[in-house]
Structure 1
């Protein structure tokens, strides 16, 4: 799939989003991998600053949005009635934001809520493209693709009676691609723009 199609024309329908959410649980919670401990520097040494490349800087800024996005998705599903969907604008844009709103609305209408959270097992950078040409059609927007391994062992979705609706054959682990984009690069915010469950991958 081309980069422009990912940004401008991702078309995961509301039905598919809800079906995936209810069968897999809301992918959220967890945290990005912790940074490696820094090495100690002797008092006589003067460490030289390390300048990040534009790609490295983009990854550093985009990566926190992955866990923030999933945490907010968790929060929305744990108490759909109390959650205000305008909060999704803090972490998502485009089809990702629309999918969250549809997912949250469907859960509320059906009287469903989530217990537990999803653990992010690992997060790997799949691709970085910093091309910025918003005036072409479709626009070319900088993005970072992450492949995220998630675990939903401790997550359940239940109805108003407290009964689980999760299929018994649900796989507890899976991989989801998360695209984080910056529509006003380089000064604009990085926001999750699309997600895609990778059914052919495991972790």
Structure 2
């Protein structure tokens, strides 16, 4: 979790002592031939070939969608903590970040807090990508995509059981994040998960 997003979530711990390569592979369709009996047909114009995306181009949008789903989950999984399963974040997070989110949920359940509103993605930009995979290495080398994200948290709030906000009033409206997305099952594109999030100190989001 980052400092600024944590002001909405980790404040449960700090302030209250409890807070998205399978490149579309597909062989070019062979040109179809049509003949008329007894009459040779002129050669058809060569069909245009659809470019096959690189592994990086195929993976990036899938990982970006997981980032967006991860931010939506901050609302989906924390709006009604008592009714939320501890597995709620497993479709969007892994490793360190999954632990942080599960801790935020159990803290919200214990402190009777809940989320109101949502985090809006103001901007997301690819910062780096490395699809190297070496699971036998120590530590394992995992395909990683890193995004810079400007998250608009102006409409995102954490309230106590009486509906009073526990978010500091001077919180910035926009949170600059560096989000690392990992895939331990690559090239399965469904397995991208947010694994690490930090404040992007050099990212100017405004707000």
What is the TM-score when the length of structure 1 is the normalising length?
Answer: 0.76
What SS does the aligned partner of 1:50 have? coil
For residues 134-149 of structure 1, the aligned pairs below 5 Å read 134-149=135-150
Task: Judge conservation of contact 1:133–1:140 (CA < 8 Å) in 2.
Answer: yes
Q: Which residue of 2 aligns with 1:163?
A: 164
Q: Number of paired residues?
A: 171
Task: Work out whether 1:70 is the aligned partner of 2:71.
Answer: yes
Change (3 A) 1:168 1:133: same
Determine the C-alpha separation between the residues in 2 that align with 1:54 and 1:63: 14
In structure 1, list runs of 5 or more residues that go unmatched: 1-16, 27-31, 33-43
What is the SS of the residue equivalent to 1:70? helix
Gaps of 5+ in 2: 11-19, 21-44
1:46-195 alignment, distance < 5 Å: 47-187=48-188, 189-195=191-197
- Is 1:196–2:198 an aligned residue pair? yes
Tell which deviates more after alignment, 135-144 or 82-91. 82-91
Aligned counterparts of 2:117 and 2:160: Cα–Cα separation in 1: 14
1:25–1:152 contact (8 Å) kept in structure 2:
no
Aligned to 2:82, the other structure's residue is in SS state: coil
- 1:51 Cα deviation (Å)? 1.3
Residue 10 of structure 1 is matched in structure 2 by none
Conserved 8 A contact 1:127-1:145? yes
- Is the CA contact 2:74–2:118 (under 8 Å) kept in the aligned structure 1? no
**Which sits farther off after the overlay, 121-130 or 79-88?**
79-88
Task: Return the alpha-carbon distance in structure 1 between the equivalents of residues 68 and 83 of structure 2.
Answer: 21
Change (3 A) 1:125 1:57: same
Partner residue, 1:3: none
TM-score of the aligned structures, taking structure 2 as reference length? 0.75
CA RMSD between the two structures: 2.3
Q: 1:165 to 1:45 in 2, by over 3 A?
A: farther
2:83 match: secondary structure: coil
CA contact (8 A) 1:174 1:202 kept: no
- Tell me how far apart the structure 2 counterparts of residues 159 and 195 of structure 1 sit (CA, whole Å): 25
Offset, 1:45: 10
